[in-house]
Structure 1
Amino acid sequence: MTFGAPIDLSGFEVPGRGRGLLDVFTRGYLLRLLIRKGTATRYRNSLLGWIWSYVKPAAQFVIYYFVMGVIMNQNRGIENFPIYLFAGVVAVNLFNEAFGNATSSIVDNRALVKKIYLPRELFPIASIIIAFVHFLPQVAILLIVCLVVGWQPTMMGLAGVVLGIVIIQIFSLGLGLFFGAMNVRFRDAQNFVELIRMFSTWTSPVLYPWILVQGALSNHDWLFTLYTWNPLTVAVELFHQGFWAPTTGTGDTTDSIMPDFGVALLAALVLCAAMLVIGQTTFRRFERSFAQDL
């Protein structure tokens, strides 16, 4: 044995440091376990079980429809307003659940984080996939209602819905990584998350048409531009064009889509990518002390 000889460490990894999101693709089995665990335990010991996935959005829809459709008279101003409303509610619900679950995913899995090392990004990614699974029953109801009123889907509309889902998931993951890391060190980060989730329904055209915002901000075009660049606004409009617009009977959706929507879509995609980079960078900076902070 020769003392002082260099040791080959090429076959080893530094504990606690990996390649971030890229490591998730090499841990498919662990990801499936976390998803199975999350979906199996969501309604454990619940009398209604998965029925709550239908009851909650239905109750939410009834309240919004009564306030905005009946009291505020939006039901007369927008053709097939119930479908317009529910399409937006479904999109925002996906964002709220994915973002909220991703934010709390590290704290909720503190036992695993403190005992073993595994890519911590597995937890927020599993959370947004679980949110997507719970989103499917709501889409099923929306599809049934659309078919009843004569929905005639188009390839462009369906592709828009898929793109809207992708935008919501990427945006939720980026925000979830950022606030999830912050939430471990500073627990009041959860309060900021609740504020964002509360405002999400009102800062996108869910309960009202975008044209009202355009009219209210007619003297501040730059504010309306920022409004249209909101990834959630773009995703909701993609849902409207995929589900609601084909039921209006005109067959022409160009009048109902926001101005410069192509620019808004590109801006939303850039913002989603930027948020994902910021979230991953922040997450990797804070993850070294997750076990100690928990």
Structure 2
Amino acid sequence: MRRIPSAAEQAEGWRAPGQDAGWLNPVRERFLLSLLVRKELRVRYRGSALGMLWSYVKPAVQFIVFYIALGLFLELSKGTPAYAVYLFSGIVVINLFGEVLGNATRSISGNAPLVSKIYLPSELFPWSSLVVALVHFLPQLLVLVVGALIFGWLPSPTALVAFALGMVILVVFTMGLGMIAAALNAAFRDVENFVDLIVMVATWLSPVLYRISMVEEVIGGTIWWWLYQLNPLTIVVELFHVAFWRYAGPVVERVPEDPTLMSPYEPFGLWWAGLLTSVLVFVVGAIVFERSKRRFAQEL
């Protein structure tokens, strides 16, 4: 017979085995979360000579390739002032999105021995992937800030608000997708390959490498233009452009005297739509993950 905890035990937070706090587990089990983060970092850089320096090397090589191919060969830098800042501010968004989503997708299947043999709140695994990705994101953010400063960027209240909004939308949206993908990947390993395709396509379906005005010239006024603008990644990338690129020197074009995030004709004016979409995706992801987690041990 299952033992029912007394009122005193319930008041002290006593829980029967197998019961947890659901999506609040990462908050209540912070120590376990920190242990998983350390494990992920230790495993990732085991036997590596460069270690955390790869957080600088990979985005640097990625930036150089895109800048040469698109900025110089296709001459996109000629029509985009401070193109280096514009390009890298989008690259850091896509890199964070790709690492969080990819690692979260594999977080359950990649920790099969822990999931199937001992009890740990399953939510800790995708959330540890997020923390690890943020650790790798900080060096890239530092490089972006230094690069923007070289081009004459100065922080402002609007820039700080745009950056904060972009981070919130990106983290909430990506974690929602990550929890859905992690739950599905525990049963169907094809999901992680599908996620890799999503990350690749996302680089080109958001204004990372090109100006968004180029998209408007082609599909402006159509339903596809509105769908493009409502893409949360488009909104986040444009918020990062507001934060780091639009103030990178006086040569950046189309900078209003009193810039505002509420401009109705700019994609970053739809930040509220991106926030609502990300919260909806997160709620769906939390529900799907919660209903699937009790089958993880059997599916693995």
Fold conserved (TM > 0.5)?
yes
Question: Is the contact made by 2:22 and 2:123 (CA closer than 8 Å) also made in structure 1?
Answer: yes
2:247 partner letter: P
- The residue that corresponds to 1:287 in the other structure is 293
Displacement of 1:262 after TM fit? 6.2
Structure 1 residues without counterparts, runs of 5 or longer: none
1:68 partner letter: L
2:133 to 131, 137, 140: 131
Displacement of 1:24 after TM fit? 2.2
- The residue that corresponds to 2:230 in the other structure is 229
Displacement of 1:13 after TM fit? 4.8
- The residue that corresponds to 2:274 in the other structure is 268
Which shows bigger deviation, 254-263 or 169-178? 254-263
Question: Is the contact made by 1:128 and 1:172 (CA closer than 8 Å) also made in structure 2?
Answer: no
Matches of 2:145 and 2:77 in 1, distance apart?
20
- The residue that corresponds to 1:203 in the other structure is 205
Distance 1:98 1:150, change over 3 A: same
1:278 partner letter: V
- The residue that corresponds to 2:144 in the other structure is 142
Matches of 2:120 and 2:239 in 1, distance apart?
36
Question: Is the contact made by 2:238 and 2:268 (CA closer than 8 Å) also made in structure 1?
Answer: no
Distance 1:111 1:165, change over 3 A: same
* Percent of aligned positions that are identical: 42
- The residue that corresponds to 1:243 in the other structure is 244
Question: Is the contact made by 2:152 and 2:249 (CA closer than 8 Å) also made in structure 1?
Answer: no
- The residue that corresponds to 2:46 in the other structure is 44
1:232 partner letter: L
Which shows bigger deviation, 194-203 or 37-46? 37-46
Matches of 1:75 and 1:250 in 2, distance apart?
13
1:44-63 equivalent positions in 2, closer than 5 A: 44-63=46-65
TM-score (norm 1): 0.91
2:77 partner letter: N
The question of 1:22 aligning with 2:10 is answered no
How many residue pairs match? The answer is 289
Which shows bigger deviation, 276-285 or 15-24? 15-24
Structure 2 residues without counterparts, runs of 5 or longer: none
The question of 1:84 aligning with 2:86 is answered yes
Distance 1:112 1:185, change over 3 A: same
Matches of 1:219 and 1:137 in 2, distance apart?
39
Displacement of 1:37 after TM fit? 1.9
Distance 1:69 1:189, change over 3 A: same
